[in-house]
């Protein structure tokens, strides 16, 4: 019998976002401290990797799981969605080759230009020994990552999965996307902890949401029909003006700008924030664009018998940050 896949932890490291629940708001105008991306384990890493590492630390703590690799147990997969994550490292290497030839390259820096660098740093930092992969599948990357992480757990390849969506606001990314200064673009990462329900209940852990079905279609009307009756729909950007949502809808890109591969994981974090309020109905997250494929993931509320106080590990994490 295949296990049910549940979400037990959420971690965000997004510039301009103070709390998980604020994903559901249109704006937040209070002063927000800058993200602290310092520390020994952050040295010599690109911005996307540092954002992802911070989000994963917060998600693991939120789920009540250890940060120390020596304390990790079981088989945990790492699934990252990022289309532009380490573009700055790649550009730095190509510029150096153009200016000084390959003689100027250091072999120690070559791993930084791999598209799987972010997932690799996460696995090394926390001793995650399960399947390790990065998806660079465009705007559907975040929902694709959720689908494949859940599939790995249901297939028995892992008992847990760390799912990360991350995109940095760097000068190479703005040049590539032709986004001028002042226009919004996501600078941050969202991380989720997925587990088999049997493992989550054995710990015991806080079950925040249940990962349901995943559908793919190029028909936006079919998506609208699917979400009818839901509590909320996390929509893709650029929906045609004649598409009217049958349920309350939220588009994170209206606040953060281009989110690319991080969008689906951000949407799932927003869905968890909504379900934390106790709504008994499902929430849907859809990524894609008109004229292309749409990928929709359904997130259901936890069964009443597994519901426990949320954010059990957040206070502990905050105390760790305050320690010298």
Could you state, in order of their start, the residue ranges of all structural domains in the chain? Answer: 5-207+309-322, 211-306
Q: What is the pLDDT of residue 322?
A: 37
Q: What are phi and psi of 148, to 5 degrees?
A: -75, -35
Q: What is the pLDDT of residue 130?
A: 94
**Strand 160-167 with 294-300, pairing:** unpaired
Q: What is the pLDDT of residue 28?
A: 52
Token pair for 290 = 């008109």
Specify whether the CB–CB gap between 11 and 63 falls below 8 A. Answer: no
| Cβ atoms < 10 Å from Cβ of 133 | 15
Q: What is the CATH number of domain 5-207+309-322?
A: 3.40.47.10
**Parts of the chain with a pLDDT under 70:** 18-21, 25-34, 36, 180-182, 305-324
Specify whether the CB–CB gap between 155 and 85 falls below 8 A. Answer: no
Share of the chain above pLDDT 90, in %: 56
Q: What is the pLDDT of residue 19?
A: 66
What is the tens place of the pLDDT at every residue in 240-275? Answer: 878 889 999 999 898 888 899 999 999 999 999 999
Residue from 126, 73, 55 nearest 268 by CA: 55
Q: What is the pLDDT of residue 20?
A: 63
Token pair for 212 = 């349901």
Q: What is the pLDDT of residue 310?
A: 43
């Amino acid at each position: 019998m295949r296990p049910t896949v549940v979400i037990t932890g959420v971690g965000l490291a997004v510039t301009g976002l103070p709390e998980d629940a604020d994903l559901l708001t249109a704006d937040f105008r209070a002063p927000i401290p800058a993200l602290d991306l310092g520390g020994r384990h952050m040295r010599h890493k690109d911005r996307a990797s540092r954002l992802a590492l911070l989000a994963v630390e917060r998600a693991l703590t939120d789920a009540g799981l250890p940060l120390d690799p020596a304390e990790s147990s079981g088989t945990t997969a790492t699934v990252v969605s990022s289309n532009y994550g380490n573009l700055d490292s790649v550009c730095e290497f190509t510029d150096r080759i153009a200016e000084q030839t390959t003689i100027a390259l250091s072999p120690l820096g070559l791993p930084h230009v791999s598209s799987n660098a972010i997932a690799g740093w996460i696995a090394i930092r926390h001793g995650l020994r399960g399947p390790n992969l990065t998806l660079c599948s465009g705007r559907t990357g975040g929902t694709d990552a959720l689908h494949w992480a859940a599939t790995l757990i249901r297939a028995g390849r892992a008992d847990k999965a760390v799912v990360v969506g991350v995109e940095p606001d760097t000068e190479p990314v703005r040049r590539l996307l032709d986004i001028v200064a002042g226009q919004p673009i996501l600078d941050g990462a969202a991380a989720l902890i997925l587990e088999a329900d049997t493992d989550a209940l054995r710990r015991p852990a806080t079950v925040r949401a249940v990962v349901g079905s995943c559908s793919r279609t190029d028909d936006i009307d079919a998506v609208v029909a699917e979400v009818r009756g839901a509590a909320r729909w996390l929509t893709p950007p650029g929906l045609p003006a004649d598409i009217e949502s049958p349920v309350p809808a939220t588009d994170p890109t209206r606040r953060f700008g281009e989110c690319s591969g991080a969008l689906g994981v951000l949407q799932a974090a927003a869905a968890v924030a909504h379900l934390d309020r106790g709504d008994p109905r499902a929430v849907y997250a859809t990524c894609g664009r008109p004229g292309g494929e749409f990928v929709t993931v359904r997130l259901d509320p936890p069964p009443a018998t597994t519901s426990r106080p949320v954010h059990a590990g957040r206070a502990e994490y905050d105390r760790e940050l305050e320690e010298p």
